[in-house]
Amino acid sequence: MARVPFIAGNWKLNKAPSEAAALAKALKHKLADRGDVTVAVFPTALSIQATLQSIAGSGVGVGIQDISVSPRGAYTGTNSGVMARALGCTYVLVGHSERRLYYGEDEAKVSARIRAGLDAGLLPIVCVGETLAQRRAGQADAVVHDQLAGALVGLNHDEVVKLTLAYEPVWAIGTGETATPAQAQAVHASIRSWLTNAYPAYIPNQMRIQYGGSVKPSNAAELLACPDIDGALVGGASLNAEDFAAIVAAAIA
């Protein structure tokens, strides 16, 4: 079953509000003709409002990069999924390797954030991926399967089907090193077959699996041509409107 491609830009800790507004404005213009490709951007929380204002009317979704597991309360320094939704966010990123590495997000925390996101009415993009050492030890598939099992535990079928997955090999993030299309496709196929074993067929057929890790205009087309790669989660190249638009263009059938 053909899935509608989904291209997302993770701006990470870049783009102050004025810069985010300018980038969003450029994207609104450049992405006007994108067929049915789903597009979303993830500014830093402080730039969400500016991004929403500039991108309004374009159909490009906006998401938050992380949420607290609690909608409100005495949790200094965090952001609420309910409040992000109220502001106008559609998506939340969960389990990004930078969150796992720098903020100790283990499977339990990832799972709790998916729950909080869904309860808030946000659509989670759940990131999984192995380190270089794990890949060299031949554990890439097993690591990703364990991350999925831990992340999706407790979700019913209606909830699982709302998720997007992102396979982001840690060794390919921000390094300029990209998984080859064959390497990426192999793990995507293995994720899809894990889903097939765990859920009824409509779930693996419908769920989109993005590839992330040094996606750029020069490699997007060959990655997106793989049968189980349904989109991209783009870091560095999403900070430039021209590059991001070129990646979206590569997804148009």
CA dihedral 209, 251, 46, 52 (to 10 degrees): -120
Q: Does residue number 130 form part of the binding site for ligand 13P (CB under 6 A)?
A: no
**Would you call 168 a catalytic residue per the annotation?**
yes
Query: Total binding residues for ligand 13P by CB under 6 A?
Result: 14
Q: Which of 89, 151, 173, 251 binds ligand 13P (CB under 6 A)?
A: 173
For ligand 13P, the binding residues in 90-109 under the rule CB under 6 A are 96
For residue 15, is it left (φ>0), alpha (ψ between -120 and 50) or beta? Answer: left
Cα(143)–Cα(169) distance, rounded to whole angstroms?
11
Q: Does residue number 63 form part of the binding site for ligand 13P (CB under 6 A)?
A: no
Taken in order 199, 204, 206, 212, the sign of the CA dihedral is: positive
Q: Which of 213, 220, 224, 248 binds ligand 13P (CB under 6 A)?
A: 213
Q: Does residue number 151 form part of the binding site for ligand 13P (CB under 6 A)?
A: no
In whole angstroms, the minimum distance from the beta carbon of 157 to ligand 13P comes to 27
Q: Which of 235, 243, 244, 250 binds ligand 13P (CB under 6 A)?
A: 235
Strands of 11-135, DSSP E: 38-42, 61-64, 91-94, 123-128
Active-site entry in 105, 130, 168, 188: 168
CA dihedral 20, 26, 32, 33 (to 10 degrees): -110
Considering the complex, state which of residue 82 and residue 210 has its C-beta at the smaller distance from ligand 13P.
210
Q: Does residue number 212 form part of the binding site for ligand 13P (CB under 6 A)?
A: yes
Cα(115)–Cα(222) distance, rounded to whole angstroms?
34
- 124, 140, 146: which is closest to 172 by C-alpha? 140
Whether the CB-CB separation of 214 and 192 falls below 8 Å is answered with no
Q: Does residue number 228 form part of the binding site for ligand 13P (CB under 6 A)?
A: no
Q: Which residue is nearest to ligand 13P (CB)?
A: 235
For ligand 13P, the binding residues in 152-171 under the rule CB under 6 A are 168
**Would you call 145 a catalytic residue per the annotation?**
no
Q: Which of 35, 121, 174, 227 binds ligand 13P (CB under 6 A)?
A: 174
Considering the complex, state which of residue 82 and residue 98 has its C-beta at the smaller distance from ligand 13P.
98
User: Which distant-in-sequence residues (6+ apart) come within 8 Å of 98 by Cβ?
Assistant: 12, 173
Q: Which residues are catalytically annotated?
A: 96, 168
- Binding positions for ligand 13P, rule: CB under 6 A: 10, 96, 168, 173-174, 212-215, 233-237
